[in-house]
């Protein structure tokens, strides 16, 4: 017989994004009102399990946070209980403190952990599940690159920011007869660039899944300009790369779980196009603006549905699963399936074909 659930924990790991507080609110209120379950908030992602930073969350803590960006619990994309850096004899070594993390969780009476995060955070949750901790994953990433769910919360909000930025660039591009290049997030998956570019009427969309030839991009834009248009909009994902080339790496951070820092592809594309087209070209890099601010109504609702369903799954005795959206239904799927591979843009998919039908170039 499954042990009666009396207390659950929740943490938010990885990068922040709009909608995290909607999940926390739904977890706290569903647990308290429907099941009489206490909730323990774990601060700063998995760092809270490593350093014992945990606190009770009352329904009053979940009041007024639905529309707030970020996360009231804090987050971290650096901490992994299976690989904790320590200094010994002047050197950095790594220790597996996962058993200690599980002990800390149990010391607070946590019988099940709801882990909200992307592929990295959910991979850690899956590994903790293999060590005996009951875990329920909630998919979060603005890149929308988690497999096994139709969409992750946070994506719609980032998409809205990117689309609005493109709309604003249209007016200044037209006024000054410029080519405007906008660089958006998207390391390995080009969902933001593709959908924002399509929604914003971009003339070129460059994404990681389709290596580009800058000469072909220039040729397509040149046809537009010399055909009577006075400006052009190019949307570039940060992970886009030229055919036969590499992603643009801004920096490499030693001892980081994700050491590569991308950046600069927007400037590279803009400089090349300015030379090829003999047309003034400017670059805008959205960066972390896409992750901040209030969540859209869609992300508020999706985060709320995910949080409530995660509690129901925990009460039902499920473990090592992730909640997901499939069509209009929220359900669970094994975590192993969710983290098996990234969800990337299909180069021959409907969205790409639609963009091509509108004469948007991908530079291939």
pLDDT at 145 over 60: yes
What value does the mean pLDDT take over residues 269-292?
A: 94
Active site members? 143
pLDDT digits (tens, 9 = 90+) for 312-361: 999 999 999 999 999 999 999 999 999 999 999 999 999 999 999 999 99
For domain 156-290+346-357, say whether CATH 1.20.1440.20 is its number: no
CA distance 105 to 81: 12
Same topology, domains 7-153+295-327 and 156-290+346-357? Answer is yes
CB 325 within 8 A of CB 149: yes
CA distance 273 to 106: 58
Per the prediction, the chain carries an average pLDDT of 94
What value does the mean pLDDT take over residues 10-33?
A: 96
Torsion over CA: 185, 186, 187, 190 (sign): negative
What value does the mean pLDDT take over residues 280-296?
A: 94
pLDDT at 216: 97
User: Minimal CA–CA distance to 38: which of 108, 88, 107, 89?
Assistant: 108
pLDDT at 89: 85
Among the four given CATH numbers 3.40.50.300, 3.90.640.10, 2.60.120.380, 3.40.50.450, the one describing domain 7-153+295-327: 3.40.50.450
> What are the domain boundaries of the chain?
7-153+295-327, 156-290+346-357
Which comes out higher in pLDDT, residue 69 or 248? Answer: 69
pLDDT at 254: 65
The pTM of the full predicted model, rounded to 2 decimals, is 0.94
pLDDT digits (tens, 9 = 90+) for 216-257: 999 999 998 888 888 999 999 999 999 998 888 877 666 666
Which residues lie closer than 8 Å to 184 by C-beta, 6 or more apart? 162, 192, 193, 196, 235, 236, 237, 238, 286, 290
pLDDT at 70 over 80: yes
Two structure tokens written together for 103: 């002990």
Which residues lie closer than 8 Å to 91 by C-beta, 6 or more apart? none
pLDDT at 190: 97
pLDDT at 1 over 50: no
> At residue 182, what are phi and psi to the nearest 5 degrees?
-120, 120
CA distance 218 to 242: 13
């Amino acid at each position: 017989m499954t042990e009666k659930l009396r207390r659950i924990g929740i943490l938010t790991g990885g990068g922040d994004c709009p909608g995290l507080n909607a999940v926390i609110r739904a977890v706290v209120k569903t647990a308290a009102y429907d099941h009489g379950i206490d909730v323990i908030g774990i601060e700063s992602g998995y760092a809270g399990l490593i350093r014992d930073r945990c606190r009770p969350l009352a329904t009053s803590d979940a009041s007024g946070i639905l529309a707030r960006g970020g996360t009231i619990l804090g987050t971290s994309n650096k901490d992994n209980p299976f690989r904790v850096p320590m200094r010994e004899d002047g050197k950095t070594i790594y220790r597996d403190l996962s058993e200690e993390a599980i002990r800390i969780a149990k010391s607070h009476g946590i019988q099940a952990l709801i882990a909200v995060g992307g592929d990295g955070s959910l991979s850690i949750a899956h590994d903790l599940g293999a060590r005996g901790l009951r875990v329920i994953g909630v998919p979060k990433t603005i890149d929308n690159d988690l497999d096994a769910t139709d969409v992750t919360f946070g994506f719609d909000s980032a998409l809205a920011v990117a689309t609005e930025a493109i709309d604003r660039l249209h007016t200044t591009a037209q006024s000054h007869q410029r080519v405007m290049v906008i660089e958006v997030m998207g390391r390995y998956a080009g969902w933001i660039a593709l959908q924002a570019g399509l929604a914003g009427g971009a003339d070129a969309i460059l994404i990681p899944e389709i290596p580009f030839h800058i000469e072909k991009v220039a040729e397509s834009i040149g046809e537009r300009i010399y055909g009577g248009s006075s400006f052009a909009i190019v949307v570039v994902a940060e992970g886009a790369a030229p055919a036969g080339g590499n992603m643009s790496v801004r920096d490499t951070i030693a001892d980081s779980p994700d050491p590569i820092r991308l950046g600069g592809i927007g400037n590279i594309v803009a400089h090349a196009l300015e030379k090829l087209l003999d047309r003034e070209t400017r670059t805008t890099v959205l960066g972390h603006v896409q992750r901040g601010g209030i969540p859209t109504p869609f992300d508020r609702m999706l985060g709320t549905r995910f949080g409530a369903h995660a509690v129901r799954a925990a009460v039902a005795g499920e473990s090592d699963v992730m909640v997901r959206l499939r069509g209009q239904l929220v359900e669970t799927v094994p975590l192993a399936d969710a983290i098996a591979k990234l969800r990337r843009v299909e180069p021959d998919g409907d969205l790409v074909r639609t963009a091509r039908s509108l004469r948007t170039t991908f530079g291939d």
